[in-house]
């Protein structure tokens, strides 16, 4: 999130000296908590409980209103309107990133807000998705006009969610690699973000026209897939205009059966890790490689972006490798399915970890930057200083609203909680596969190592960020 | 002279220790299990 220069340290731990014990001791305590959880699961969780979602309709008037057609149309229109405002702000507003609504809206409010809302309230993005709204409106209009609706192309099954995974990496690349050029005067401007949003809108609408709106939202539309993934952790889900409640976590168990789903969740963890490590853990390595590219005659911006791209790719590969080691370890237990089946069969256990990484890394940034979003950016979206729509243009960010110690405890809590939930999901799936609780627990030894490694890695990244 | 100023660069070691302990435990337990099976004391593969 380096493109928000007004808060360079907001998402990092800035005062570790406040802590009663060294930061690394938290990693030891977190590892202990995971080991205790692992053995508690082995002893007490002896039947699969999460394969059935137990979805039940909520018999309430409010629930019916929330998913009614007028509410859907209203939400869709709001989504289209907000996208339009953000694009307009990017195209016509100031180039100062911290004063223009576009960057904060796309990279903080939407990108970080919807995962949290999804976990709490269900897939909130779905009704607000502007491209889905346009696609559905176009479909309804052609049906009403009696125009023969063209048949959608058959979507290749093997492609699965790979378009979303690639799009997710591209989105984060735009933000943390392309945008990092800001320090050398070629960073991500609100204008560039607005143009990218327009290009993505054209691409998405074209894909929806080719393959169908709902199918593209489920497989290829980056934001639908990404936010929908996190929404599966929560208890609310609308089915055919009926709002219902289900067991927490249970909806994740079917999510990863589509090819490319593992790539999406690995991309989520990997990109967040890279963003955290870029200015901290990887800083020396990035500087050394960049130096060698400069010596080879590359320009400053190109050298920096190439270096960051390589480190981003290495981070993604590293996260994938750690997960695959965990899966490989399960093969030591006989009677299980193939490596490929295990690889996709346990991918959903990474979803709570992806959310934990997101929460730990961006929690403080979100809280601070949303103060800007709902004060001066909302009243003066172009950042030109000429409008004050809601009388809040003079507002600012109160950095004292959250202490460094509070941020650190939220980060540690998020990482421990996310990994314990990941262990739970993996254990539950192991019981489905191996049935014998003892075999199931033994199969998860290496997944325990994966969880401990990801927890310690996450805490290390946070502890050295912006040192 | 101990370069104390550079100690911060080695802080990652403290974060690797729990991972190493868990991996060592897993390897030990896996080897024991194999030895037990080879000795005929295990319940064998299903």
- DSSP-derived secondary structure for A260-300: THHHHHHHHHHHHHHHHHHTTTTHHHHHHHHHHHHHTT--H
Identity of the residue in A281, A335, A452 whose CB atom sits nearest the CB atom of B19: A452
Output the pLDDT for position A279.
81
Output the pLDDT for position A148.
64
Distance (Å, rounded) from C-alpha A30 to C-alpha A419? 9
CA of A71, closest CA in chain B: separation in Å? Answer: 49
Neighbouring-strand partners of residue A239: A242
Selected residue of B11, B22, B26 to mutate for chain A interface (largest A Cβ count, 10 A): B22
Output the pLDDT for position A327.
95
Residue A87 burial by CB count (10 A; 0-12/13-18/19+): exposed, middle or buried?
buried
User: How many C-beta neighbours within 10 Å does residue A330 have?
Assistant: 25
Residues in chain B closer than 8 A to A276 (CB atoms): none
Dihedral angle at the C-alpha atoms of A200, A205, A207, A210, nearest 10 degrees?
-160
- What is the distance, to the nearest Å, from the Cα of residue B30 to the centroid of all Cα atoms in its chain? 11
CB A355 within 8 A of CB A418: yes
Flag if A442 and B26 touch (Cβ within 8 Å): no
Flag if B26 and A445 touch (Cβ within 8 Å): yes
Distance (Å, rounded) from C-alpha B13 to C-alpha A464? 13
Distance (Å, rounded) from C-alpha A175 to C-alpha A189? 10
Flag if B14 and A24 touch (Cβ within 8 Å): yes
CA of A14, closest CA in chain B: separation in Å? Answer: 15
Q: Hey, where are the domains in chain A?
A: 23-463
CB B45 within 8 A of CB A443: no
Interface of A with B in 135-174 (CB under 8 A): none
CB A348 within 8 A of CB A262: no
Structure tokens at B14: 């403290």
| Sequence-ordered strand ranges (E) for A161-296 | 236-239, 242-245
**Is A28 at the interface with chain B, CB within 8 A?**
yes
Flag if B17 and A28 touch (Cβ within 8 Å): yes
Residue A82 burial by CB count (10 A; 0-12/13-18/19+): exposed, middle or buried?
middle
Neighbouring-strand partners of residue A237: A244
Query: Tokens 């507003």 — which residue?
Result: A93
Secondary structure (H, E, C), A35-99? HHHHHHHHHHCCCCCCCCCCCEECCCHHHHHHCCHHHHHHHHHHHHHHHHHHHHHHHHCCCCCCC
Dihedral angle at the C-alpha atoms of A397, A402, A403, A409, nearest 10 degrees?
-140
pLDDT above 70 as % of chain B = 67
Output the pLDDT for position B4.
56
Identity of the residue in A284, A439, A445 whose CB atom sits nearest the CB atom of B29: A445
Distance (Å, rounded) from C-alpha A423 to C-alpha A38? 7
Neighbouring-strand partners of residue A236: A245
**Is B10 at the interface with chain A, CB within 8 A?**
no
**Is A197 at the interface with chain B, CB within 8 A?**
no
**Is A456 at the interface with chain B, CB within 8 A?**
yes
Q: How do strand A236-239 and strand A242-245 relate by DSSP bridges? A: antiparallel
CB A354 within 8 A of CB A269: yes
Distance (Å, rounded) from C-alpha A430 to C-alpha A336? 9
CB A56 within 8 A of CB A244: yes
**Is B7 at the interface with chain A, CB within 8 A?**
no
Structure tokens at A438: 């003892």
Identity of the residue in B14, B19, B30 whose CB atom sits nearest the CB atom of A453: B19
DSSP conformation class of A331: T
User: How many C-beta neighbours within 10 Å does residue B41 have?
Assistant: 9
Structure tokens at A169: 């990496």
CB–CB contacts below 8 A, A to B: 54
Mean pLDDT for chain B overall: 78
From the list A228, A283, A235, A286, the residue with the least C-alpha distance to A255 is A228
Distance (Å, rounded) from C-alpha A295 to C-alpha A315? 24
DSSP conformation class of A185: T
CA of B1, closest CA in chain A: separation in Å? Answer: 24
Distance (Å, rounded) from C-alpha B20 to C-alpha A326? 14
Output the pLDDT for position A187.
67
Distance (Å, rounded) from C-alpha A136 to C-alpha A262? 28
Distance (Å, rounded) from C-alpha A230 to C-alpha A246? 15
- Cβ-proximal residues to A129 (8 Å cutoff; 6+ apart), any chain: A76, A79, A217, A221, A223, A224
Structure tokens at A182: 């800001």
From the list A310, A357, A367, A350, the residue with the least C-alpha distance to A461 is A357
Residues in chain A closer than 8 A to B18 (CB atoms): 27-28, 31-32, 452, 456
**Is A283 at the interface with chain B, CB within 8 A?**
no
- Cβ-proximal residues to A321 (8 Å cutoff; 6+ apart), any chain: none
pLDDT less than 70: residues of chain A: 1-20, 148-150, 181-187, 466-467
Distance (Å, rounded) from C-alpha A26 to C-alpha B25? 21
Phi, psi torsion values for A244, nearest 5 degrees: -135, 175
Interface of A with B in 369-428 (CB under 8 A): none
Output the pLDDT for position A60.
87
Identity of the residue in B11, B29, B33 whose CB atom sits nearest the CB atom of A24: B11
Question: Which band of pLDDT confidence, cut at 50, 70 and 90, is reported for residue B6?
Answer: low
């Amino acid at each position: 999130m380096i493109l928000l220069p007004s808060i360079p340290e907001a998402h990092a731990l800035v005062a570790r000296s406040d802590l009663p014990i060294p930061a690394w001791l938290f990693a030891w305590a977190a590892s202990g908590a995971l080991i205790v959880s692992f053995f508690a699961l082995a002893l007490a969780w002896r039947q699969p409980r999460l394969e059935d979602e137990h979805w039940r309709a909520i018999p309430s008037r409010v629930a019916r209103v929330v998913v009614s057609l007028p509410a859907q149309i209203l939400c869709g229109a709001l989504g289209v309107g907000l996208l339009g405002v953000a694009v307009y702000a990017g195209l016509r507003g100031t180039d100062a990133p911290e004063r223009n609504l576009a960057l904060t809206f796309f990279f903080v409010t939407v990108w970080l807000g919807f995962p949290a809302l999804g976990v709490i309230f269900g897939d909130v993005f779905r009704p607000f998705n502007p491209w889905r709204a346009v696609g559905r409106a176009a479909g309804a209009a052609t049906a009403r006009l009696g125009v023969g609706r063209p048949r959608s192309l058959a979507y290749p099954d093997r492609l699965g969610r790979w378009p979303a995974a690639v799009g997710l990496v591209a989105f984060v690349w735009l933000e943390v690699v392309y945008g990092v050029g800001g320090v050398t005067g070629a960073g991500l401007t609100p204008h560039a973000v607005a143009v990218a949003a327009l290009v993505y809108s054209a691409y998405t609408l074209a894909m929806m026209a080719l393959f169908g709106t709902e199918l593209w939202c489920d497989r290829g539309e980056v934001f639908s897939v990404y936010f929908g993934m996190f929404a599966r952790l929560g208890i609310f889900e609308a089915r055919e205009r009926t709002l219902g409640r289900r067991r927490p976590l249970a909806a994740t168990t079917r999510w990863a059966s589509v090819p490319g789903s593992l790539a999406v969740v690995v991309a989520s963890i990997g990109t967040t890790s890279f963003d955290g490590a870029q200015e901290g853990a990887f800083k020396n390595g990035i500087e050394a490689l960049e130096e060698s590219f400069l010596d080879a005659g590359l320009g400053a911006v190109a050298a920096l972006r190439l270096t960051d791209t390589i480190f981003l790719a290495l981070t993604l590969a590293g996260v994938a490798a750690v997960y695959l080691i965990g899966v490989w370890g399960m093969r030591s237990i006989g009677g299980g399915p193939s490596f490929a089946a295990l690889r996709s069969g346990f991918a959903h256990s990474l979803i709570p970890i992806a959310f934990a990484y997101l929460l730990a890394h961006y929690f403080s940034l979100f809280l601070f930057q949303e103060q800007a979003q709902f004060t001066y950016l909302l009243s003066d979206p172009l950042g030109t200083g000429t409008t004050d729509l809601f009388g809040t243009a003079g507002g600012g960010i109160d950095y004292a609203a959250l202490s460094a110690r509070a941020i650190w405890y939220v980060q540690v809590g998020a990482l421990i909680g996310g990994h314990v939930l990941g262990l739970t999901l993996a254990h539950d799936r192991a019981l489905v596969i191996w049935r014998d609780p003892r075999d199931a627990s033994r199969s998860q030894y290496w997944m325990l190592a994966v969880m401990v490694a990801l927890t310690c890695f996450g805490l290390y990244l946070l502890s050295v960020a912006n040192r | 002279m101990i370069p104390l100023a550079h100690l911060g660069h080695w802080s990652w070691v403290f974060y690797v220790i729990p991972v190493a302990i868990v991996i060592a435990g897993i390897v030990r337990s896996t080897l024991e299990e194999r030895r037990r099976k080879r000795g005929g004391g295990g319940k064998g593969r299903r």
